[in-house]
Amino acid sequence: MFSLFRENVRIALDSIKSQMLRTVLTIVIIAIGIFALVGILSLVKALENTISSDFASMGANSFNLQRYEFNVQRQQGGEKEKINPVISYDNIREFVDKYDYPFSQTSVSFRGTGAAEVKFEDEKTDPEVQIYGVNEHYLENTGTEVDRGRDFTVFDIENNNKVCIIGSDFLKSLFKNDNPLNKTISVRGVKFKIIGILESKGATFGNNQDLKVLIPIKAARGIYTQPNINYTISVKVDDKEMLAGAQDEAILTFRNVRGLSPVEENDFGIERSEDLINRIASITSVLEISAWIISIITILGSSIALMNIMLVSVTERTREIGVRKALGAKRSTISTQFFIETIVIGQLGSILGIILGIGAGFAVSSIFSFSFSLPIVPIIWATVITFLVAIIAGAYPATKAAKLDPIESLRYE
């Protein structure tokens, strides 16, 4: 039994080699469909992993008060955006003074610039460093860890100490892998002593998270004095069960800070990391469905091409089939041979498509610094789909070959 199956496999492979051009074209068509499926799904997964990990770093028990919601509200007709006032320094000071929810802590921050030049002795960075003004709770509330050194203390913030925490990329660029702790850097002519180095977080959409400097918020306000600076408030509670209550209290407090009447809508946004992750998941699910639709259409075309090549193969090998039947080959033997051919072609297309899909996903993820992971589920689905396509596409040609009359086949020219 096994020897007969092995002989069928050998004959099938010889047949594939004899019509190499048509076989290669069919494999490529199948590979394109699998490539679209695996490539797009791997990219979607990498994108989802990257963004989810970034937002998840906020923590499941924290939320932000900011100028807008994640989706900017628009007036009816979509012609004009709703313009919210910035969250000013007076707003955050009043909020911090009034908000006193149990077992919670509030961080306030703002980005002074994303194009700063940082100097150390005779060395300086390119003007692409981000400078943030923060308070003592910023690192914990945003899920940021200090790799070396220490965090800010309340005394650093209240006394306006000229200290800073730097991103890990400064070790490679400005300090050439020397220990920067307790050394002094200059930002806009103001000198800051380095007290900590952040853990590496990589880059997201070209935004380098490791090339930034955190300084006390009062010191940052003295350096960056542009009007209408927009601040962000982050609140973290010790227990996730208290999050809803803390959020309601924060909304009420900030409405009072803004002086809103009970009938007025909020003129600020509130976001939790879970809300953002859920929205991202809904977006990526649409991309996944699109990938499936594109792939199915392409694979449908490849199944037609595969069926066509097998029908042509049956016609060209009519005499060969007649000889085999005259020598005692059974119908099942003939149909098995053609099934093996279609399955081999389908799986070769699957393998090529999977390799191309993984390669494309990895390449794009590397370029944009996404968190790439091997798309195991799409690979399994790709293998199963191509196997089913091969069976469906090969069923009619195999049946047709098995039903050929041996006498008529021997007469075929």
The reported pLDDT for the residue numbered 376 is: 85
The reported pLDDT for the residue numbered 256 is: 94
Q: Alpha carbon 278 to chain centroid distance?
A: 14
Query: Tokens for 61?
Result: 């028990």
User: What are the distances in angstroms from CA 175 to CA 133, 185, 213?
Assistant: 23, 11, 14
Q: What is the distance between the alpha carbons of residues 288 and 53, in angstroms, rounded to a whole number? A: 19
CB within 8 Å of 214: residues ≥ 6 apart: 132, 134, 138, 139, 152, 164, 165, 166, 198
Q: What is the distance between the alpha carbons of residues 196 and 367, in angstroms, rounded to a whole number? A: 29
One pLDDT digit (tens) per residue for the chain, 413 residues: 566 667 667 776 777 777 777 778 778 878 887 887 788 888 877 777 776 666 555 556 888 998 887 654 444 445 456 788 999 999 999 999 999 999 899 999 999 998 899 998 888 888 789 999 999 999 988 888 899 999 999 999 999 899 999 998 888 878 877 889 999 999 998 999 999 999 887 665 556 778 899 999 999 999 998 888 999 999 999 888 888 899 999 999 999 999 999 899 999 988 876 666 677 777 777 877 877 787 777 777 777 777 777 777 777 767 777 777 676 777 777 777 777 888 888 888 889 988 998 888 888 878 776 777 777 887 888 888 888 888 887 777 777 777 776 666 565 55
What are the CB-based long-range contacts (under 8 Å, 24+) for 311-316? 311/396, 311/397, 311/400, 312/22, 313/15, 313/19, 313/338, 313/341, 313/397, 314/338, 314/397, 314/400, 314/401, 314/404, 316/19
The reported pLDDT for the residue numbered 173 is: 78
The structural domains of the chain, with segments of one domain joined by +, span: 2-54+278-411, 85-267
Which amino acid is located at 60 in the chain? A
Cβ burial, residue 259 (10 Å; 0-12/13-18/19+): exposed
The reported pLDDT for the residue numbered 58 is: 54
- pTM, full prediction: 0.63
CB within 8 Å of 35: residues ≥ 6 apart: 352, 353, 356, 357, 360
User: What are the distances in angstroms from CA 79 to CA 69, 75, 76, 89, 264?
Assistant: 18, 7, 7, 31, 21
Which secondary-structure segment (H or E) carries 292? helix 273-316
